[in-house]
Structure 1
């Protein structure tokens, strides 16, 4: 659950910065959000979640 909330906050921040600095329109961001909701209901959603979890584990294992 913590990973999901962190991912949502990170992606929300990126979308906000794109809207503000790169000219991403609010309607485009809304379409991307709706696409994500519809994609979550498909059969590929578990694979996407597993890939995100794998990436988070990889990034979490990096030591500086």
Structure 2
């Protein structure tokens, strides 16, 4: 759950920054959100979740 929340917050921050700099319009952001909901309810959701978890585990092992 923590990985999901942090990934959502990161994507939300990135989307907000793109919208602020006029690189992403509101309609594009809505489309991205809707795509996320569709992917979350599809049969690809477990694969996406395991990929995100594996990537988060890999990144968490790096030391600055």
Q: What is residue 29 of structure 2 aligned with on the other side?
A: 29
Matched, 1:10 2:10: yes
Q: TM-score, normalization: structure 1?
A: 0.91
Q: What is residue 56 of structure 1 aligned with on the other side?
A: 56
What is the Cα-based RMSD across aligned positions, in Å?
1.0
Q: What is residue 19 of structure 1 aligned with on the other side?
A: 19
Higher mean alpha-carbon deviation, 38-47 vs 15-24, is at 15-24
Which of the pair has the greater relative contact order for Cα pairs under 8 Å at 6+ separation? 2
Separation in 1 of the partners of 2:61 and 2:19? Answer: 31
- Structure 2: any 5+ residue segments left out of the alignment? none
- Structure 1: any 5+ residue segments left out of the alignment? none
- Count of aligned residue pairs for this structure pair: 64
Q: CA deviation at 1:5?
A: 1.2
Q: TM-score, normalization: structure 2?
A: 0.91
